[in-house]
Amino acid sequence: MRKLLCALLCVLVVMSNAFAQSRTLTGRITDATGAPVANASILVKGTSIGTTTNDNGSFSLNVPETAKVLVFSAVGYESIEQRIGSSNVFNISFTSLDQKLQEVVVVAYGTQKKPEITGAINTIKGDEVANRPFTSVDRALQGAIPGLQSVQGSGNPGSIQQIRIRGIGSINASAAPLWVIDGNPINTGDLSRLTTSSNALNSLNPNDIESISVLKDASAASIYGSRAANGVILITTKKGKAGKTKFNVDLEAGTSDIAYQNEKYKPLNASQYFDLTREGLINFGIAPANVDGVMTANFGFGNGVDFNWLDNVTRRADQQQVNLSASGGNDRTSFFVSGGYFRQQGLTVQSDFKRYTGNATITNKATEKLKFTLNTSAAYINQNAPLNGGAFGNPILSSYFLLPSRAARKEDGSLNITAPDFGPGALHNTIATAELDKRNLNQFSLRSNLMAEYQILKNLKFTSRGGIDYNILEEDQYNNPFHGDGFNVNGRAFSRYTRYSNLSITNYLDYKQNLNKDEDFYLDFKLGYEAQKSKGYFTNVQSQGFPPTSDLIVASVGATPIAAQQDASDYAFNSVFSVMNVNYKDRYVISASGRRDGSSRFGPNNRFGNFWSLGFSWNVDQEAFMKNVDFISQLKLRASYGVNGNAGIGNYDWRPTYGFGVNYNQLPGSAPNNPGNLDLTWELNKPLNIGLDFGVFNNRISGSVDYYVRKTSNLLLNEPTSLTTGFGGVTKNIGAMENKGVEVTLNAIPVQSRNFNWNVNFNFATNKNRITALVNDADIVTGVFIRRVGYDFQTFYVRQYAGVDPANGDPLWYVDDTKGETTNNWNTALRTADYGSATPKMFGAFTNTFNFKGISLEAQFYYNFGNYVRDTWGGFYMGSGNGGAFNKVVRQLDRWQQPGDVTDVPRYVFNGNRLAQNFSTFYLAKGDFIRLRNIQLGYTIPKSVTDRLKMNSIFFYARGTNLWTWVKDENMPFDPEAGVSSETNLEVFIPKTVTVGLNIGF
Amino acid sequence: MKIIKTNHIVIAMALGVAVTTFSSCKKEFLDLEPYTSLPAASAITTEADMQVALRGTYAGMRGVDIFGRSGPVLGDLLGDNVYQSVQNSNRYTLYNRFEQPVTDGNADGMWAQSYSVILRANNIIASAPTGTPAIDQYRGEAHAIRALMYFNLVRFFAKPYTDDPGALGVPLVTSYDINSKPGRNTVGEVYTQILSDLSEAYNKMTLSPGSLQFSKYAAKALEAKVHLTMGNMAAARTAALDVINNSGYSVVTAANYIAYWRNPAPLAGTNKTETLFEVTMDAVGNLAFDALGYIYNQQGYGDMLLADDLYALFTDTDVRKGLYSAGTRGGLPAVFVNKYTNIQTDRDDTKVLRMSEVYLIAAEASLSTNETEARDFLNFIATRRDPSFTGYTSTGAALLEDILTERRKELATEGDRFHDLNRLKRPIVRSANFPANARNIPYPFDKRLLPIPQRETDANPNIKSQQNPGY
């Protein structure tokens, strides 16, 4: 790879020098104060011949004799065109645009100047997510945006990242935001069916992103109607810039290790396990004289083996990425092309990820009125993910459950896959299955977007956009005939083919009407139509009975076909929408939006719905009376309210149906599979947002404060039914909940000087979730959670652990909420809803950035407070003997041993002590943590050097990700980041990563 | 405010609308139908639909917590026949100790899966088609299935009828209402429904679909077992004799006994040997690792072992002894169960009603009225299992014990023993293979009833206060 890259670089450098030269123009560009403008662009109009100014504002450009006009431009200044006369010297003075006023933000169906924004929108630039050691862009959003919770459940590269904006707004429907790439609403989430966890956004190379806008309130998001309730994330990809073709090469490599490990939750070694088990067997009732015999026969006692499974299934992992891009064009046509390669290993065997991406955008101004943009990106992904949770083939499970007396290999080095250690029905040797089995995902994704903009009149524009978002997933699983999941059926193979083809079109008119002569009082009006149809197509093949080799792994080799299935699932949306903004001198802005949505996901009784928003902003800083208040550089008040919806349910949930495929003796059978609900319709979400943006002392201190109340009603609720109906639940529009909170962003520049800058960014968000209505306001218990009116959505419904009886080592639980009386009968202990929730009370990030000359140092801490994390499988390795034949963790050694012992770990009894293994607060840990999410040290080579090398920029960096983690609870078993529902599931560990990188521009 | 160049705007708007209508705005665009389902309202409208829905109903009985595994396993494990090895996959551990919690997943599964089958049967019974023998047969089979499901539920979740017919049974649901939240009917009411369904089933069925479906005499055999369980000996005897005399079914011979258990396939309607009804598992429709055989077979989990005292009851000449073998597991002597050997491809079917049991029912039901006949029915089976055995000669109470012992031996690992001990209100005396604190389970004892699932009591306020004691 490296050789190839060098060759490529050489070719590119030669090419860029190969242009003919005939005349040299020089000059200097300054601003109104006479200060030099660096990095301004000078371009020969109608060509790609151009250059940029250096730090002194000077430039030198060779142009052909035919060149007629030069175009001077720079960010934040008005562009200037000048005819090339006889003079070869051009000294230009730029007029500065008021940057605050002119900075545009990508919003739904277009862009807006900052003062026009009435809603809660956060934006981040592409370089904040580029070159990160993350497989998908959503991982890079953690801590970046106040009120946006981005949580990882598994450290497996390519696994899903859960995003929640302003809390969880739904009980059973999706709580994930809508993602829109260049106007194209895309299918996101985990589209795989065999892979433990994957993420459709893996196909988007973060280095291709120009900007990200997160729409959080009604004013910003309601225009997306029935899918806006959980927020909308708009991605804008990079477009070409006119001028000499610029190349960028980004190289990065790194290594990772387990981010957080608790010594108390490491598995026992052989002597620890046998000492504990001897005690447990005696407590169980085995005669002491027989105990060693039982341990020898069952557990390999005395076989001299002490194998550390955890160390052997985990590994130090490495990763690389390479990104190349080129951008250029002339004033008619510009392009951006890029290619990317990303490879990351997971921290366990069988876990890795590779991605190849290509992206091309071309923009052409066909006439002064007509502009086309075509963007196409493709990605190929190869992902391997081990099993998780309770699967015998899960390497993490095996590292906690397998006895240290079972070795992965025999003395001769061959795999240990037979009795007595790994006989039929026993836990699997996951080192063997990692070698012999296969679990693979190949994903091919294509996104293409064609947009035409036609300027009908000076103040009327028509935009038409059509897009496709296409994902193909090929998943293969092979289980060898010798050991593991395939043993019993002489080997088996699964093949799943999944295709999602998602087409959408949007047409809209954008009309601007001036309402006064100065043209600073105007109305902007959009009217549009949008349609989308997504088709899912699925096949499923399974066979078993394989020849005795692990070299033949595809389903065709299997002697017995088990499954040959094909299915499909579609949805469609059809909408008209309109937005209107009235802007009075950038002082007062009123915005309104409306959308009428129809969806195939709802029954004919309630298929269409109307959504709207109203917003208002007052830019106080633009008032005449503020002109003399110098220390306030920005002051703005915003308010918005509206209605949007959530349609995030199954495609056919409303239909009462009989499903087929419920076969008997291989003859067709049918059975009721969905109770349905003809009245089903979307959830209604009514967000109120009040915001304040401020900047003082020339924006040395600036920030935003938002207060929101998000009321959701008509919840798409799976109401548990009496099981005697034949169904476990039915989806209804019942219930209501509320999220409210405060989001604060603060930016400060404590030091700003010629050579040294210090930036501080702090963001903070609270969210209080409360269920406000349920079916008859009756509690709904779902697994370990209770949905109760007045309580947080993710409230644990749990028996309260009361410690250990010092007299006999029994586990005790409280009989009631008063925490007075205790019992050793888990069944009669009271479940309470007043202990805690899986939802954090607050989270955010604190970032410091230092720049000294070319050196930059950035450190971001992410923090999360106020939730509890459940140790889902703790009942086995911390269950006081439950599952006695499985290994335990170090904390189990704290068990009660004799009367008078005071400890919180009960007496150890082989195969369990009085249901100590069952769920109680013993298995909840406080979730508070602080993590050094990102630390980066970088160095930019001085321009004098890069100029000599004929380069634009060279930047070196070293980055650490998750390098340090502080956890409040000493009994936190695994990484405190355990998905939105805060439940550990024996997943691949979340990594801490160190990478070094090099970015070159030329 | 005057808008300039109105004409242009109108033209532009028209253009926009034209393009808009170009893309589909039709009603069908939003009317997308599922690919593997049909509308419930029209799913059963013909005779053929009924047949398909009936197969789906039988398929439901494969559920892991009904006839798939838990039903038969608990019927022995909660009795004295089968115990959990110290080396195990941690399935049914708490049942081995009579400590199952209210949250127990198997009890939940049995409840949910049984009522799901009942819904399927209810829909067939309530469907429109009438008038052909096949339609009557299908409806009759649905009645029999419903009776069987309630019979299972009432035995696991409620007190025996022989103890208190007025005790809380299980909710009777005979028609579909997604919003119903029924409380528990009495045990007596549940048995009334079961007998009524079995009578319908017997009267409607005329065809012989094979051992994998109910037939007329399978329903009658179930009726005999229901009466026996209720303690209605006369009615049990009448029903059993109807099957013995009129069904044409024969008892499997000693010579064919092992081969009978090795066969994983259902029997055709023309083969009236032994199996009146079984739930079939085939090479595709099976429970794989969750299959019944997998938890017994030493090539599978092999967790469940035969109690030493039961193994000791088999003489060496008893053909049934060939279904068990002695060995060691977990460092302790163990008796392996080899009744279910088909744990790859076509899995073992779960036998529900066998002709041998009908004879044993006839024996027990005849005891109070005709001891000689009772002994003859008993010996009919006993001598066919052990050709060297000359037959029981006992009388009175001893004869009853012999019948019960023969039941225990013949029906071992088929999930019958626990229910026998319950209907007889006897203590469960378990061998030293079982955990020390769970070897003597008196009658009554709270945990001899399964918990009404917490999921049910959470969702159904009418049953909340009707939980079984001890949960």
Q: Which domains does chain B have, with CATH numbers?
A: 42-464 (1.25.40.390)
User: Which residue does chain B place closest to A875, by CA atoms?
Assistant: B90
> What pLDDT score does B7 carry?
53
User: Which residue does chain B place closest to A828, by CA atoms?
Assistant: B471
Q: CATH topology for A100-249?
A: Ferric Hydroxamate Uptake Protein; Chain A, domain 1 (2.170.130)
DSSP secondary structure letters along A22-36: -EEEEEEEE-TTS-B
Chain B, 62-121: which have a CB under 8 Å from a chain A CB? 86-90, 93-94, 99, 101-103, 111-112, 115-116, 118-120
B254: left (phi over 0), alpha (psi -120 to 50) or beta: alpha
Confidence bin at B403 (pLDDT 50/70/90): very high
CB contact under 8 A, B37 and A673: yes
Region B275-295: mean pLDDT is 94
Q: Is the pLDDT confidence value at A407 over 50?
A: yes
Report d(CA B240, CA A102) in Å as an integer: 93
Radius of gyration, CA atoms only, chain B: 27
Confidence bin at A13 (pLDDT 50/70/90): very low
> What pLDDT score does A304 carry?
93
Report d(CA A485, CA A821) in Å as an integer: 47
Chain A positions touching B1 (Cβ under 8 A) are 513, 515
Per DSSP, helices labelled H in A357-471 are: 395-401, 430-436
Region A673-679: mean pLDDT is 93
Contact partners, residue A753, CB within 8 Å, separation at least 6: none
Straight-line distance from the first to the last Cα atom of chain B, in angstroms, rounded to the nearest whole number:
77
Give the tokens for residue A160. 């899903």
> What pLDDT score does B1 carry?
39
> What pLDDT score does B392 carry?
96
- In this predicted structure, which of B20-29, B246-255, B440-449 has the lowest mean pLDDT? B20-29
Q: Is the pLDDT confidence value at A101 over 70?
A: no
Please report where in the chains the tokens 């005891």 appear, as a residue: B367
Residue B453 at interface with chain A, using a CB cutoff of 8 Å: yes
Chain B positions touching A665 (Cβ under 8 A) are 55, 212, 266, 280, 282, 285
Q: Residue A967 phi/psi, 5° resolution?
A: -120, 135
Confidence bin at B284 (pLDDT 50/70/90): confident
> What pLDDT score does A817 carry?
86
Interval A206-219: pLDDT, tens: 999 999 999 999 99
HSE toward the beta carbon, residue B270, CA cutoff 13 A: 0
Region A687-702: mean pLDDT is 94
> What pLDDT score does B14 carry?
53
Interval A360-406: pLDDT, tens: 999 999 888 999 999 999 999 999 999 999 999 999 999 999 999 99
HSE toward the beta carbon, residue A271, CA cutoff 13 A: 0
Region B314-336: mean pLDDT is 93
Report d(CA A759, CA A752) in Å as an integer: 8
CATH number of A20-97: 2.60.40.1120
Q: Give the other-Cβ count within 10 Å of A791's Cβ.
A: 18
A–B CB contacts, 8 A cutoff, strictly below: 280
Q: Give buried/exposed letters for B407-431 (b at 16+ CB in 10 A, else e).
A: bbbbbbbbbbbbbbbbbeeeebebb
Region A475-501: mean pLDDT is 95
CB contact under 8 A, A912 and B455: no
Q: Which amino acid is at B98?
A: F
In three-state secondary structure terms, A377 is: strand
Q: Give the other-Cβ count within 10 Å of A538's Cβ.
A: 17
* Predicted-assembly ipTM surpassing the 0.95 threshold: no
Name the average pLDDT for chain A.
Answer: 92
Select from B58, B86, B182 the Cβ nearest to the Cβ of A298.
Answer: B86
Interval A558-605: pLDDT, tens: 998 988 999 999 999 999 999 999 999 999 999 999 999 999 999 888
Residue A570 at interface with chain B, using a CB cutoff of 8 Å: yes
CB contact under 8 A, A569 and B34: yes
> What pLDDT score does A859 carry?
97
CA nearest to A446, candidates A513, A388, A376: A376
Report d(CA B84, CA A800) in Å as an integer: 30
Confidence bin at A61 (pLDDT 50/70/90): confident
> What pLDDT score does A97 carry?
63
Please report where in the chains the tokens 């900047």 appear, as a residue: A695
Confidence bin at B88 (pLDDT 50/70/90): confident
Q: A474 - beta bridge partners?
A: A442, A497
* Residues B262/B297, Cβ–Cβ less than 8 Å: no
CB contact under 8 A, B345 and A560: yes
Region A24-45: mean pLDDT is 82
* Residues A724/B171, Cβ–Cβ less than 8 Å: yes
> What pLDDT score does A64 carry?
83
DSSP secondary structure letters along B172-217: ---S--TT----PPBHHHHHHHHHHHHHHHHHH------TTS--HH
**Domain definitions of chain A by residue range:** 20-97, 100-249
Q: Is the pLDDT confidence value at B15 over 70?
A: no
Chain B positions touching A781 (Cβ under 8 A) are 454-455, 458
- In this predicted structure, which of A22-36, A151-165, A364-378, B185-199 has the lowest mean pLDDT? A22-36
Q: A252 - beta bridge partners?
A: A321, A997
Q: Is the pLDDT confidence value at A70 over 90?
A: no
Any idea how long chain A is? 1002
How many helices (H) and strands (E) chain B has is answered by 18, 9
Q: How far is B444 from chain A (nearest CA, A)?
A: 19
Select the residue from B19, B31, B37 to test the A interface by mutation, using most A Cβ atoms within 10 A: B37
- How open is the CA angle A864-A865-A869, to the nearest 5 degrees? 90
Report d(CA B49, CA A82) in Å as an integer: 82
Q: Give buried/exposed letters for A237-250 (b at 16+ CB in 10 A, else e).
A: bbbbbbbbbbbbbb
* Residues A695/B73, Cβ–Cβ less than 8 Å: no
* Residues B467/B451, Cβ–Cβ less than 8 Å: yes
| A119 Cα distance to chain centroid | 23
CB contact under 8 A, B36 and A661: yes
Region B430-459: mean pLDDT is 94
Residue A509 at interface with chain B, using a CB cutoff of 8 Å: yes
Chain B, 307-366: which have a CB under 8 Å from a chain A CB? 328, 330-332, 343-345
Report d(CA A43, CA A73) in Å as an integer: 8
The proportion of chain B whose per-residue pLDDT surpasses 70, expressed as a percent, equals 94
Measured over the CA atoms of residue A128, residue A132, residue A136 and residue A140, the dihedral's sign is: negative
Q: pLDDT: is A684 or B2 the higher one?
A: A684
> What pLDDT score does B160 carry?
98
Distances (CA, A) of A683 to A167, A812, B29: 15, 43, 22
The proportion of chain A whose per-residue pLDDT surpasses 90, expressed as a percent, equals 78
Q: For residue B403, what is the enclosing H or E element?
A: helix B396-410
Q: How far is A289 from chain B (nearest CA, A)?
A: 13
